[in-house]
Amino acid sequence: MVSLGPPTVVDGLRFKKTVGLPEYIPSGYRLSDGSADTGGNTMISAVVIGNTPAIASGLSLLGQNENKTLQFLGITDRGPNQDCGDCFDNQADPTLVGNGTVNFNSGKGFPVPQFSPTFGIIQMGINSTATVTESCYLKDTLMQPVTGISTNPNDDTPRTAWCEADLEFDPNGQDSEDIHMLPGTNYAMIVDEYLPSVSVVNADFTSERCGEILVRYIPSGMQTAVVNSTYPVKAILPASLSGRRANRGFEALAVIQNKAIVMLQSAMDVDSSRSGRESEIIPAIVLNITDPLHATYLGTKYYAGDSAANGYWVSPRTSQRDIKVSAASWASQFLTEVGLEEEKEYVFMLERAQAQVKIYLVDFESATLTDESAISAANATLIMDPWDLECGNGIHTARKSLIFDSSTTVNFTFSDKMEGFAFLNSNVLLLGDDNDFGLEGNGATSFVLVQLAESVLNKFDQFSVRPSCNIHLKRLGGISGIKAETETVDPVREIALVGGGSEFVLLNYSNPSSLGLLKTVPIVGGGDLNDMQQCNGYAFLAISGPKQISNGYLCHISMEELIMGNTEQLNVNGNHCTELIGAVLPDMLVLTENCSTVVLAIEGEPLQPDPDTEDLFDASLYETAEGGVYIVALDWTEGVPEIASRKFLNLTHLNDMADDYVARGVRWVSKRFAAIDPEKFSFSKDLQPEYVTILPGQQEALVVCQENNAILHVDLVRQEILELYPLPYKQWEGFDLDASDRDGMINLKRYPIWGMPQPDAIESFLHNGEVYFAVAGEGDSWEFEEFRGKDYASAGLNVSNMSNATISMLENNSQLGRIKFSIAPPGHDGESFRELYAFGSRSWSICLLNSTGVHLVYDSGSDLEEAHAEQPFRNTFNIDAEPEKGQDTPHDQYDKRSDDKGPEPETVKIHMIDGIRMLFLSNERTSTMMIYDIDDPTMPEPVYMKRLSPVSGSMSKAWDSIIADGALGVSDPESFTVLHEAKLLLVAGSYSETFEVYKIVTYSEDNTGSPPPPNGDSPPLPGDDIQPPMPQGPPSPPSGSSPPSSDSPMPPEEETTPPPDDVSSSNTAPVFILNHVYFVGIIACNVLLRQL
């Protein structure tokens, strides 16, 4: 830092104030009241100490006196200092360096070398003023002042003012930071950034010996640095702490009756190569202070600093080395209120980086206590990644629960050097800054009061969950600037085809850190590329016609020709492509395992009126087509695929049973128009097949009709449609969702409404000889059918059976007024409707398929939104990662999809990873990947979650700029491939126009499931891009056992779940509530059915 002018000493050796500082902000300065952050926290006011700078390097609440004045204990750091590098660089500018001569470009200049670090009592009255009423400076045993000058050469070399000449090191010197009184004594404990060290001092303000250092605890092996100290020193701390970064020693301290937890400010350098400073792992030293003057080392625990690589921090300039832990306090004042003993190791922690401050509740109780013989702090740091520390070494880091984040608080303009804090009660937080004595013109010490939206007491139930040691994604590389709506992979040649619109590219991923773009292939003569699959060395492509209502194409071309040949374009009218007569909009294609059969879902999507310029209810403006399933048999006799036969299975024969299917729960969305034009809006033309899965055995397939919330069962051998099944509908009275984009917060509640899963993706698998399939409940709609809750009257909703409470919710934009419902719910008669059905289920499900039909066995309930409500995903909760306005920022899009399908689960893939059946789920809007263990399809377990989006560190940057800058990451991960043998995940980002490769990292475990022991023969690999997992556990069960409210549409009746083979033989769509009963770790799902 550079001083604005030479300082002078005032008030003896106590508080110093530099001359020439900018005029201090007047006492009582207020920020505009009522400014709320996106989480609901509110800035109350800000106050300053007008004549006492730098008193809040540490802060703790002492109490309240009889005048209702709050009293705090605060402390300064080492005193006014200058960065010699800055002085050297600016020595030609006298306005910055005065008249000093700068002779050194490294170290620290001490304009007031005789300054003694000082602590005092800060008093804050009801008139929003703050004053220091008592103070003591640090003294040695001889009552001589202790300076803030560096202790030894491992710290900043001390210089005189303007870095003109050297100063001697001071073995007594301390760069004091956090401070707390020791319960039941007149002692205070302080921490120091230099050695690092912990000191016990006399804090009796009535005594002449106030400020005396009674003992200083330092790392073993550093005694020579303080050999001439004039107060007691004891070397009880781990020797490896000497590898901490220069001037990044202890900065955070929490104490209770008999114990102290002391935190390094940052990850350690470890050695001269500074190899540890990018680590996320920060040591926390635990001391027994039953006798404070004879403390003992109990062991080391570890804390994981928020990852700079994964969107925890707003500034794009933030790197891991910038993360600092700057203050702490024991949560003892709240522990008894939540039913815990005061000595339990729950600590509040202040974590900060550039222009951002966070407060966490940290559960050290759950962290593993180690000592240097098991793993040194240095070696733990070098593991770099909390996941590797836990899974490779069996050492749990402390769990965290976010309480406050300044970056989401509107008009929070105070210094990012907020280094002190205290909780006035469970809902009010006070923050204090270290103003560095005003040497950078940053005004007086300021304090900020924040009204928390949620009580601290609630945070004891919101800790992050332990990482699963089963699986983990490590980013290897990526490429941007390509169309990436669909992809397929040739694992033999290590080539990926990625495309969209009217082109695709070939990428060599043999070196994922540097993806090679081999060529771009334009598609000529057709419409959009909808899907691609590679099989037996050939690429198969589904391409729509040049007009929306026109025949599509199936193309196939050898990978060798694409790679080595002269193929500069793919013409749909050329030799590589076949026109699919009658097939409008081929959507997805799948090949059987032996590549002998191609199955295409023919969507037949209607041409609809323009919602901005045309009447959506004018039936004459629609153009419709028949959807269906196309089956193409291939002949590989000559080693080249030739079309042996092809057949289009249209759905017209289902019209004869249309009313029956509607009664069972299949949606006929356009039924209201059928009376006007029964041929154009027939039941079969309403069905829109989109996604295919080949069933085990390779002789049958399931095809999803998304808008209709139904699936077609297809016999591939006989080439016929076997059945049309409705899929389950979801009753939201049993689960929580956020229904509003206008409340500015995460607000998960239960409502008397229904959800239509309407899956896009489907994946089947065999378990114990039975066929199951998983679907992602994305949701979709026709343009005309959407209405917002507040518009229920004009939409034609019949509210005669609804309670006043439900109607009131519909009229409230913070409840159901904003969420989108359908005017064509299941069972409607084409005009009137009585029930509220929203689009999508915001979940994924597993169903059993057997001779009696489709039966739900699992649904993830509220898990997806609950997981996105936790860090590090909270700041992109229900975000729209593909906004219509490119100038919008990710921060602008926070909570914007709560009214419209939430995170929007998009794609599911199922693969065996190390013998465990894993389900991979991508969420379109929030751009996250979630992984579940589904070895037991009735009891899936969440094991991992990661954000793929490039918004990391760019929450306030326009989407257009993020993408234009080539920010790597994936927005809208609609298509991905899992290569289970190579353990690779390859993901295409449609909106971000990116393609990325991730390593699927797993640790081998023994028969007990224990991770490998610390210091084993195979050290874990350092990782990057790591996210903590989603909160584990099933959705919360519906509260109570009372019957549903009278306004609940068609309430289900509770019953016991029968075995799968005994499930009702009706093909009626089951409406589900899963009551998860906790019993010795086992979840029992009661599937409730009802007749539509």
- Whether the pTM exceeds 0.75: the reply is no
Using CA atoms, how far apart are residues 364 and 486, in angstroms rounded to an integer? 45
What are the backbone angles phi and psi of residue 124, rounded to the nearest 5°?
-125, 115
Q: Assign 3-state DSSP to the chain and report helix, strand, coil percentages, each to 5.
A: 15, 35, 50
What is the secondary structure of 941-973 as a DSSP string? Answer: EEEEEEE--TTTT-TTS-HHHHHHTT--S-SS-
- The total number of residues written for the chain in this structure: 1092
Using CA atoms, how far apart are residues 493 and 490, in angstroms rounded to an integer? 6
If you average pLDDT over each of 634-643, 797-806, 1020-1029, which comes out highest? 634-643
In the prediction, which pLDDT does 519 show? Answer: 95
Average pLDDT, the chain: 81
**pLDDT tens by residue, 565-579:** 888 999 999 999 999
Helix (H, G, I), strand (E, B) or coil at 784: helix
In the prediction, which pLDDT does 724 show? Answer: 98
Average pLDDT (350-366) is: 89
Report whether 55 contacts 120 (CB < 8 A): yes
Report whether 692 contacts 656 (CB < 8 A): no
- Residue 35, CB half-sphere, CA atoms under 13 Å: how many? 17
Report whether 393 contacts 367 (CB < 8 A): no
Give the strands of the sheet with 720-726, arranged side by side.
689-694, 700-705, 710-715, 720-726
Whether pLDDT at 523 is above 80:
yes
| Residue 11 DSSP class | S
Average pLDDT (852-856) is: 95
In the prediction, which pLDDT does 95 show? Answer: 54
Higher pLDDT, 1081 or 558: 558
Average pLDDT (782-800) is: 91
Question: Tokens for 949?
Answer: 């989006």
Average pLDDT (221-229) is: 88
Lowest pLDDT segment from 193-202, 358-367, 483-492, 1029-1038: 1029-1038
Whether pLDDT at 1068 is above 90:
no
**pLDDT tens by residue, 425-451:** 888 888 877 766 656 555 566 778 788
Using CA atoms, how far apart are residues 830 and 667, in angstroms rounded to an integer? 11
Confidence of residue 699 (pLDDT cuts 50, 70, 90): very high
Spell out the residues 6+ positions from residue 851 whose beta carbon is closer than 8 angstroms to its own: none
- Give exposure, 995-1030, as e/b (b: 16+ Cβ within 10 Å): bbbbbbbbbeeeeeeebbebeeeeebeebebbbbbb
Higher pLDDT, 676 or 114: 676
Whether pLDDT at 670 is above 70:
yes
Average pLDDT (340-358) is: 89
